[in-house]
Structure 1
Amino acid sequence: MPGGIQGGLSGGIEPAQGWEALLGAVAESPGITLVIGEVDTGKSCLCAFLAGSLAEGGFKTAVVDADVGQSDIGPPTTIGLGEVPGRLSSLSECKELALHFVGHCSPEGFLLQTLVGTVRLAVEALRMGFEQVVVDTTGLVHGPGRALKLAKATLLQPRHIVFIEREEELSALRAWLPSACDAKVHTLRPSPRVRERSREERRERRKALFASYFEGAKEVVYKGVVVRGSSFGHGRPLPGHMLSYLGERLSTKPKYAERDCKELRVVAGETFDLTGLGELAGSFGVEKVRVASPSRWKNLVVGLTERGGFCLGVGILLEVDWAEGAFLVLTPRSVDPSRVGVIELGALRIKSDGTELGKVHPAEL
């Protein structure tokens, strides 16, 4: 076991009560450490102290940053895997190794994507030979957050689980999670130096992160890629005379239409008439007719991903041409477009300056 594990100041992080004892326990029993707590309890600060001290002590250490809304490794809407170079002042000092795209800044409504990404990156870290893997999580610990944390503990089988709680708000998780894995449980109080941030402050921080991320980005047209997350793009395209017929029925000028055994999907103009959809469905022998205008996909956050690989980065979808299979995406400088084989649609609209334009329900895409 590497020696020389010390607490003290880790890159300027002063340990709070119980942190150094936790460090000693984790150093004695390497593996995955899962950190859980509500918002503004100091999870990321503890993770930086713990991971930095372990790396300084000789352990090959990685961090899985699963806080999709306040990301330090990778842009918001992603889960990031980072290598710890030594003592840290912030998790943002980790070297980014891999990303997984979730598509929104909260795991609520995206539990499966969050679970898959967290577990996949932790497994990848172990595959790469990291001895210590510290997993930072979001502050969603009630309602669906309990099921998510239980699933993470079940699949990750962590060596250590750290609960940071003010009072008894994590009592259910403290009862459930140890029954799902053979982990050593540690309970800490939040550091007195933790400052609570309002929802607006969190939104402004995300805006700044996005703005920095897209600085110098370029517009790229992607063709021949797989688009995941939309009902459109995988049916049988309809010929021109059918488009004319649909235009008359919907009082619009269709740009594209496709069908499968269940649905007829139409990309219409910006205005259209939805009366008589049941009759239209009957005439095509389908159960449902779905009509959308091109603006439905505009400004969506998208994941730019390798086929069979990890997310290379996040883009902003600017234009969609389903007929040509072409997608205009604002692409960050860090992404090599030639490696992109998959575009994953998110559920958040943003501008390139990071301004959030609202959430889109995945079923609408």
Structure 2
Amino acid sequence: MSVMEKGGPGFFEVKAGECLLIGGPAHLRVSEGRVEALGVELAKGGRAVVRVFKALPVKALENSLLEIKYGVNGFVEKIDEPYPSSWLNVIEEALKLKETVIVMGGVDVGKSTLCTLITNIALQKGFKVAVIEGDVGQAEIGPPTTVSLAIPKRPSPDLFRQNPVASEFVGSTSPMGFEDEVVEALAKLKTKAESHGVDMTVVNTDGWVEDGKAVEYKVRLADVLKPSLIALLCREDELEDLRKRLMEKFNVLIVQPLPKARRRDRGARKELRELSYQKNLRGSGLRSIPVSWVKIYNHDLGTGVVLSEERFRTLNEQLNGGLVYGEETPNGLLLVLNNRLISEEDVRKVFENYSRPVNVIWKGSEKGLIVGLYDRRGEFMGIGVIGEVDYGRRVLKIHTPCQKPIGIIKLGYVKLVGSWKEVEKFRRCPLEPKRINASEEG
């Protein structure tokens, strides 16, 4: 239902008890009266920003005049209630049990909204609350490809405003194929939350819930996090397998999805991720990091002995001048090749009778690859994007705002270009060496 502007362009009169849904991009300012936005009271002069493709439900606590400015695809419409009344049961149960509350459900059902509401009301009750963002694709707190922990000091209508106190890099924007990494990362963040002495931890999750693998993943996640309560957003005829499996082990409340949750297609989700990349890579400089100074997680580069000049020259002749760099590593011969000068098929022929494993990286495959940056203690410091690897000097060139010493680099599965636009996602890391022969050692 649309709402008529009153009192001038961009101004809306709302009577006590009436509710509006504001779609972003939009900016709200309370000119007169008081409203509530996801548990946060905004009095005269109070403001809230609604991000693009997001929506904020607002309820008038008294007769109010709201100034709302919105951009392309933004909107203001009247709704019956800010959120389903069944959500109040979840909040009551969560505040009673405390400990760990996990919110699960499909895509665009209101998981982030419910997490925000639980967090804000718990903060107002005086609880110390941790929020764990477990959605690597639509992260509300840290950058995409990570899961993050925040400990908010005050209520906020948008968790995006919270700064993470810890994050873990997964490297992908989908949990599929990375279930082990996500579960392990979330377990670490829960332990860190407990070390901060929190009363309650609220865990948001991704929307992968439909198929058998998704069900196994979500049950395993619950097994590891040991929640006092799971709020499962779905209708009565949905997610039967997941509901049954969870109810066998855990305290589960079935919760009505948010009726007016904003639907986002793949393009909108990609744009939201790019906004987050831009936020987390703002102020980036190009750092040159010697390979010998860091450990590249689960990678052979820098672990072996660089080929001698004579050995390099001999191999380069056999490889039609396409050899860029080589190392004898504990896992075999690591070669970086120029695919303009030699094909994979020709490389296989050269090494078909070679006694050790031969692993190949193609020069340039690293450009634009997102990486996670850690200190030597294994604490996450931020993300970066590889500009290039200077194999001759054995130097990694990485765009990142992080200025602290880097000890560990984890390679991701997503490439960004230009102003951090997402151009490609991979099941296999493009910088991962490819085995091209069958050796006696293998």
- CA distance in 2 between counterparts of 1:198 and 1:131 reads 36
* Correspondence list, 1:216-255, <5 A: 216-223=283-290, 224-255=293-324
- CA distance in 2 between counterparts of 1:143 and 1:298 reads 35
TM-aligned CA deviation for residue 61 of structure 1: 0.1
Which of 207, 219, 228 aligns to 1:159? It is 228
Secondary structure at the counterpart of residue 296 of structure 1: coil
CA-to-partner distance for each residue in 1:214-234, whole Å, 9 max, x for gaps?
A: 232111112201111434332
Aligned length: 353
Indicate if the aligned counterparts of 1:65 and 1:81 stay in contact, CA closer than 8 A.
yes
Which of 153, 166, 185 aligns to 1:85? It is 153
Aligned to 1:4: none
CA-to-partner distance for each residue in 1:123-163, whole Å, 9 max, x for gaps?
A: 11012111100000100113422222111111111100110
Larger deviation: 317-326 or 47-56? 317-326
* Correspondence list, 1:75-114, <5 A: 75-114=143-182
Would you tell me which structure has more strand in proportion to its own residues? 2
Larger deviation: 97-106 or 80-89? 80-89
Which of 303, 322, 327 aligns to 2:396? It is 327
Seen in structure 2, the aligned counterparts of structure 1 residues 22 and 265 have a Cα distance that, compared at 3 Å, is: same
- Given the alignment of the two structures, is residue 347 of structure 1 paired with residue 376 of structure 2, yes or no? no
TM-aligned CA deviation for residue 317 of structure 1: 0.7
Indicate if the aligned counterparts of 2:300 and 2:331 stay in contact, CA closer than 8 A.
no
Indicate if the aligned counterparts of 2:297 and 2:410 stay in contact, CA closer than 8 A.
yes
CA-to-partner distance for each residue in 1:4-63, whole Å, 9 max, x for gaps?
A: xxx984127534221111111111111011111011011000000001111111110010
Which runs of no fewer than 5 residues in structure 2 stay unpaired?
Answer: 1-35, 41-55, 58-81, 433-442
TM-aligned CA deviation for residue 278 of structure 1: 4.6
Identity value in percent: 28
- CA distance in 1 between counterparts of 2:116 and 2:269 reads 19
- CA distance in 1 between counterparts of 2:188 and 2:316 reads 45
- Given the alignment of the two structures, is residue 132 of structure 1 paired with residue 161 of structure 2, yes or no? no
> Larger C-alpha radius of gyration, 1 or 2?
2
- Given the alignment of the two structures, is residue 194 of structure 1 paired with residue 261 of structure 2, yes or no? yes
Aligned to 2:367: 298
CA-to-partner distance for each residue in 1:273-303, whole Å, 9 max, x for gaps?
A: 333545543554114x232222111110000
Aligned to 1:43: 111
Indicate if the aligned counterparts of 2:303 and 2:330 stay in contact, CA closer than 8 A.
no
Which runs of no fewer than 5 residues in structure 1 stay unpaired?
Answer: 1-6
- Given the alignment of the two structures, is residue 10 of structure 1 paired with residue 39 of structure 2, yes or no? yes
Would you tell me which structure has more helix in proportion to its own residues? 1
Higher relative contact order (CA 8 A, sep 6+): 1
Aligned to 1:275: 345
Aligned to 2:252: 185
Root mean square deviation of aligned Cα: 2.1
Indicate if the aligned counterparts of 1:210 and 1:352 stay in contact, CA closer than 8 A.
no
